[in-house]
């Protein structure tokens, strides 16, 4: 019956975490007494506390330890997100001995941490995370510190000093638009015009998704506000709603391809990827103050495959993979150093939208404050 | 027919082997009870326990200390508003779905039960009552979205822009159409048996006593069907109230209905630490659905009187 199906789905949603705890803790006892959370028996204990390549000896030793584990659990890596598909395939090609388990590709950052907590001690727990900044900052007790070989080339602003989490790739909040219907928007006010009736969407709800949150942040700083106060940003979307221009549908590559969402606020790399099937799709970063955001890598402190987790980090910060992120339209963490060294793929770098004059990134305090404000005001202001 | 014969046989032979047959029957009962165990265990593990854990989480903070804070958050104007939205949307689509579905059933009643039309409508209703979630949402986007087939057709052929005053499809009112789309077939499935159980003898009795067609429906048909109709209506309400995925795909801004609020509390990566509020919201939903289900079983019991 429909009721049962639908209700089960809902309850499953509510209680997924709870069920997982219940069912899995009963198995956890077995696994824990079996081979424990350490994975590889000889190097396992060392790998779990290794903070750099020196703790393994050499890179070859790390590779050997990771191959001995034979598994790598990654979580929340959609294949069409920042070119992760190609990155995962390259890892699989380089290390055929290691099986990659791609878990729940479409969940949120917050759910990654929940998954680690509920699966603690199991070999299904995620080894590595890819997290938005707010979640990374509030979950540091879940991470094991590790510094990759190319650590020094990562800008200080992007890394937690001990290596608990490290920025991996990022981009600017941008406006994707269908160039067959619209000219390039030069400012936010353009979007309030009658041409854009029922045309402007955000990727997600800002009280939930990091990208949508950043869209409101961008609107705030573009409306002469600061990151201390997101209210001007909320007001902008309120006006957009009053003008009848705001679209509330959930944005997917399908809605972009079909033309249902002809103007979308999203990270520049996601906008580029989402519009891949629409030849008229262009991505614009507004002049003036830009809003940037980086995602962060972290290793689960209870990683069932601690060596493979660390090998994955070394792999991600290698020149090849940094260029693969760039190919996905994202700006990799080592971009500056690689540009100086000449190892960056210059064609890809040139294809990125131009960097605005000024760039802002919210602090943890600003994020929290903005989150509270959005929780109170957002739903009412866009009705 | 068969069961009647069996019962008759059993009664007939009962006196002769009264003793042994009673023993056999008793042990049979205990075995039958055992048969329920797998299902009961399944329901316990995957419905009851998770529900209790989820609701229980509403009474605790992140650190595990007892608190009423999450429950008092239910009185928050934003939350109350979403409950009102949910209840209003569910009630409206339940009433529309029930009335439309009942009319379809009435029309089907005149058809040959083995005929093509009736069996295809039956089959279609069975399938479409299940057709919800993201698929349904996208079907509506493709048909009546801003670039939808129907929207463009109406615009080209009649110069009619259904979105003159904004994109209502992606607001709460926009959910009415997709919801009705799965409510009507569900009504057909649940209400058809009740309608089909109207005995021809009652019509004959009515005619014999000098009644008219109108008096049949007024004095017999409607009173007999009322409990079944109400029961189906309540079922439709609960069905809409707990529906989630269709709304998530269509009206993604502002979490206007309760299931979307629960999602926001559980998965948000921008407003952190509200996981336990989800438990309190779930409790609120369970209370509402609980009331509806209690009414349902009450009404259903009344309806069963006529169906023997």
| CA A243/CA A241 separation, integer angstroms | 5
Domain residue limits at A273: 171-292+355-381
Lowest mean pLDDT among A171-185, A305-319, A322-336, B164-178: B164-178
Same domain, A363 and A224: yes
Cα–Cα nearest to A146, from A128, A131, A134, A124: A128
**ipTM here:** 0.72
CB spacing of B186 vs A3 below 8 angstroms: yes
- Taking only the tens place, the pLDDT of each residue in A246-273 is 999 989 888 898 888 999 999 999 998 8
First and final C-alpha spacing in chain A: 34
Who wins on pLDDT, A9 or A165? Answer: A165
**A164 and A42 together in one domain:** yes
pLDDT at A5: 37
User: Do A79 and A159 fall into the same domain?
Assistant: yes
Q: How many domains does chain A have?
A: 2
- Mean pLDDT confidence for A154-171: 91
A126 and A221 in a single domain? The answer is no
* Secondary structure (3-state) at A172: strand
A186 shares its domain with A284: yes
Q: Cα separation of B149 and B154, whole Å? A: 9
Question: How confident is the model over B156-168, as pLDDT tens digits?
Answer: 999 888 887 778 8
Q: Answer for the pair A269, A258: CB distance below 8 angstroms, yes or no.
A: no
Residues A233 and A140 in one domain: no
Q: Cα angle vertex B289, ends B65, B237, to 5°?
A: 145
CA distance A117 to A17: 9
C-alpha neighbours within 13 Å on the C-beta side of residue A79:
8
Q: Where are the alpha helices (H) located in A156-261, listed in sequence order?
A: 210-222, 231-242, 253-258
Evaluate if residue B265 carries a pLDDT over 80: yes
Q: Is A303 exposed, middle or buried (0-12, 13-18, 19+ CB in 10 A)?
A: buried
The reply to whether A155 and A91 lie within a common domain is yes
Taking CA–CA distances from B238, the nearest residue in chain A reads: A3
Neighbours of A287 (CB within 10 A): 13
Residues A248 and A221 in one domain: yes
CB A323 within 8 A of CB A351: no
Q: What DSSP string runs through A144-165?
A: E----TTGGGS-GGGB-TTSSE
Topology (CATH) of B69-307:
MetI-like fold (1.10.3720)
Q: Which of A3, A209, A372 sits opposite B239 (nearest CB)?
A: A3
Interface contact flag, B47 A8, Cβ < 8 Å? yes
The string of pLDDT tens digits covering residues B108-144 is 988 888 889 888 999 999 999 988 888 999 999 999 9
* Domain presence at residue A42: yes
Query: Could you tell me the residue ranges of all domains in chain B?
Result: 69-307
Measure CA B253 to chain center: 26
CATH of residue A149: 3.40.190.10
Nearest to A55 by CA among A263, A306, A276, A236: A306
pLDDT of residue B307: 59
- Res. A236: pLDDT tops 80: yes
Percentage of chain B lying above the pLDDT 70 cut: 89
Residue B8 pLDDT: 39
From chain B, pick out residues whose CB is under 8 angstroms from the CB of A205: 252-255, 264
Read off the pLDDT of each residue in B269-294 and give the average, rounded to a whole number. 86
Instruction: Please check whether residues A190 and A234 belong to one and the same domain.
Output: yes
Q: What is the pLDDT of residues B180-236, one digit of tens each?
A: 999 999 999 999 988 888 888 888 898 899 888 888 888 888 888 888 899 899 999
- Of the pLDDT bands very low, low, confident and very high (cuts 50, 70, 90), residue A60 is very high
In-domain check, residue A1? no
On whether any CB of chain A is under 8 Å from the CB of B242, the answer is yes
**What is the C-alpha to C-alpha distance for residues B121 and B107, in angstroms, rounded to an integer?**
11
Q: What angle do CA A1, B118, B226 make, to 5 degrees?
A: 60
In this structure, the answer to whether residues A155 and A55 fall within a common structural domain is yes
Query: Which stretch of A98-112, A329-343, B14-28 has the lowest confidence by average pLDDT?
Result: B14-28
* Contacting residues of A for B165, CB less than 8 Å apart: 244
d(CA B182, CA B131) in angstroms, rounded, equals 7
For residue B245, give the nearest of B130, B147, B76, B151 by alpha carbon: B130
Residue A245 has pLDDT above 50, yes or no: yes
Backbone torsion region of residue A247, taken as left when φ is above 0, otherwise alpha when ψ lies between -120 and 50, otherwise beta:
beta
pLDDT of residue A353: 86
Q: Does one domain contain both A109 and A243? A: no
**What is the pTM (predicted TM-score) of this model?**
0.77
A256 & A377 share domain: yes
On the question of pLDDT at A3 being above 50, the answer is: no
User: Which residue, among A279, A309, A293, A301, has the nearest Cα to A363 in the 3D structure?
Assistant: A293
Q: How confident is the model at residue A28 (pLDDT cuts 50, 70, 90)?
A: very low
- Quick check: B53 and A15 CB within 8 A? yes
- pLDDT value at position B2? 39
Contact A383 B254 (CB under 8 A): yes
3-state secondary structure of B113: coil
Q: Do B270 and A198 touch (CB under 8 A)?
A: no
Give chain B's mean pLDDT.
Answer: 83
Query: Is residue A11 situated within a structural domain?
Result: no
Q: In this structure, is residue A17 part of a structural domain?
A: no
Identify the CA nearest to B186 among candidates A70, A124, A182, A3: A3
């Amino acid at each position: 019956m429909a009721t049962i199906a639908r209700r089960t789905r809902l309850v499953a949603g509510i209680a997924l975490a709870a069920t997982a705890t219940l069912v899995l803790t009963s198995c956890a006892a077995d696994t824990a007494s079996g081979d424990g959370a350490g994975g590889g028996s000889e190097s396992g204990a060392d790998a779990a506390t290794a903070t750099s390549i020196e703790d393994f000896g050499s890179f070859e030793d790390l590779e050997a330890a990771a191959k001995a584990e034979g598994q790598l659990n990654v979580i929340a890596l959609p294949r069409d997100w920042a070119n992760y598909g190609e990155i995962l395939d390259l890892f699989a090609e380089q290390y055929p001995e290691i099986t990659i388990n791609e878990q729940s590709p479409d969940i949120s950052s917050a759910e990654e941490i929940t998954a680690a907590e509920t699966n603690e001690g199991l070999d299904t727990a995620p080894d590595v995370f890819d997290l938005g900044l707010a979640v990374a900052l509030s979950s540091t007790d879940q991470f094991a510190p590790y510094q990759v070989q190319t650590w020094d080339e990562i800008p200080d602003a992007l890394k937690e000093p001990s290596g608990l989490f490290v920025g991996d790739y990022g981009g600017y909040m941008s406006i994707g638009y269908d160039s067959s219907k619209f000219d390039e928007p030069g400012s936010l006010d353009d979007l309030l015009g009658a041409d854009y009736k029922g045309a402007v969407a955000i990727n997600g709800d800002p009280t939930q998704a990091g990208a949508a949150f950043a869209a409101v942040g961008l609107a705030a700083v573009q409306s002469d506000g600061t990151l201390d106060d997101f209210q001007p940003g909320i007001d902008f979307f309120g006006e957009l709603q009053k003008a009848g221009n705001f679209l509330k549908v959930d944005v997917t590559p399908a809605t972009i391809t079909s033309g249902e969402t002809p103007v979308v606020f999203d990270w520049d790399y996601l906008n580029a990827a989402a519009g891949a099937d629409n030849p008229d799709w262009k991505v614009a970063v507004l002049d003036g103050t830009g809003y940037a955001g980086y995602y962060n890598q972290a290793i689960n402190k209870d990683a069932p495959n601690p060596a493979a987790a660390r090998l994955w980090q070394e792999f991600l910060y290698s020149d090849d993979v940094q260029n693969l992120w760039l190919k996905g339209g994202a700006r990799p963490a080592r971009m500056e150093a690689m540009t100086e060294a000449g190892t960056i793929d210059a064609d890809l770098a040139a294809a990125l939208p131009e960097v605005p004059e000024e760039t802002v990134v919210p602090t943890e305090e600003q994020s929290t404050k903005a989150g509270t404000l959005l929780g109170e005001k957002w739903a009412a202001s866009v009705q | 027919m068969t069961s009647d014969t069996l019962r008759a046989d059993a009664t007939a032979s009962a006196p002769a082997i009264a003793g042994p047959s009673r023993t056999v029957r008793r042990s049979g009962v205990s075995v039958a009870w055992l048969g329920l165990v797998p299902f009961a265990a399944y329901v316990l593990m995957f419905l009851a326990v998770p529900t209790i854990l989820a609701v229980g989480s509403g009474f605790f903070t992140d650190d595990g200390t007892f608190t009423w804070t999450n429950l008092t958050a239910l009185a928050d104007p934003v939350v109350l508003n979403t409950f009102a939205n949910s209840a209003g949307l569910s009630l409206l689509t339940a009433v529309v779905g029930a009335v439309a579905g009942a009319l379809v059933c009435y029309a089907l009643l005149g058809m040959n039960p083995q005929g093509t039309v009736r069996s295809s409508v039956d089959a279609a209703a069975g399938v479409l009552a299940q057709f919800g979630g993201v698929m349904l949402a996208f079907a509506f986007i493709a048909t009546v979205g801003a670039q939808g087939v129907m929207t463009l057709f109406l615009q080209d052929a009649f110069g009619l822009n259904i979105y003159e005053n904004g994109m209502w499809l992606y607001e709460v009112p926009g959910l009415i159409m997709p919801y009705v789309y799965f409510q009507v077939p569900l009504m057909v499935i649940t209400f058809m048996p009740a309608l089909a159980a109207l005995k021809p003898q009652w019509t004959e009795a009515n005619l014999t006593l000098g009644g008219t067609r109108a008096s049949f429906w007024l004095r017999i048909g409607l009173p007999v069907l009322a409990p079944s109709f109400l029961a189906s209506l309540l079922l439709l309400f609960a069905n809409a109230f707990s529906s989630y995925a269709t709304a998530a795909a269509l009206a993604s801004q502002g979490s206007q209905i309760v299931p979307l609020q629960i999602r926001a509390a559980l998965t948000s990566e921008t407003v952190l630490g509200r996981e336990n509020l989800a438990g309190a919201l779930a409790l609120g939903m369970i209370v509402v659905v609980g009331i509806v289900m209690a009414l349902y079983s009450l009404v259903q019991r009344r309806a069963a009187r006529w169906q023997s």
